[in-house]
Chains A and B, each alone.
Chain A
């Protein structure tokens, strides 16, 4: 069974930085595109960023471009999201999720339980 476990969330002030992580297990991690999604309190799902298996391609939603960096360590089966210049509107539950197939943009068939990021003064 695919397992994705996020960690690293917390309470930070506007303008500060935070790194969230996602540890994957029981699948060939390096084959799959991985994604970060988030959900603000009481709001809908929002895509944040994606990275291909080799890290060759990275994609970001416009509101985080230049502030967030997605990266992965395939040797450690881990996905990361480094967040800088955090804003109040970045508050939410951050999920990592795996594409259901390799090589392309596919639906996310496995999700972690999320890690909560709160940006508040």
Chain B
């Protein structure tokens, strides 16, 4: 089965830039989506199709991809950005959605 690999945790100081990676085989051929989940709340889509931002999501959130690694970048990190972040792709070989294991961002 397809696997997405994320670091378990990332820690940054307020005002700095956080980068969360997501690695997977042949990821360059897949659209990567990113979700933010704060404790006790439902996930929120923050980036879709590698680098697109839904309406209402601050411009501080951006996505990119190079080869088999996608990256969610959070610029000028705020205390309110502290959350778990998950990457997701659709695996066309199995017709399954796949999530990474999640990364806890600590500010």
Scan A73-102; emit 1 where CB is below 8 A from any B CB, else 0: 000000000000000000000010000100
| Structural contact, B102 and A107, CB atoms closer than 8 A | no
| Structural contact, A44 and B45, CB atoms closer than 8 A | no
Closest chain A residue to B95, Cβ basis:
A59
Chain B: how many interface residues by the 8 Å CB criterion? 24
CA distance A61 to B44 in the complex (A): 22
CA distance A114 to B43 in the complex (A): 10
Given contacts A95-B42, A107-B49, A113-B42, contact A45 B54 (CB under 8 A): no
CA distance A44 to B98 in the complex (A): 11
| Structural contact, B42 and A47, CB atoms closer than 8 A | no
Listed in ascending order, the chain A residues whose CB lies under 8 Å from chain B are 35, 37, 44-47, 50, 59, 61-62, 95, 100, 105-109, 111-114
Q: Does B88 contact A (CB under 8 A)?
A: yes
Closest CB in chain B relative to A98 CB, distance in Å: 10
Given contacts A100-B54, A107-B33, contact A47 B45 (CB under 8 A): no
| Structural contact, A107 and B45, CB atoms closer than 8 A | yes
CA distance A7 to B86 in the complex (A): 25
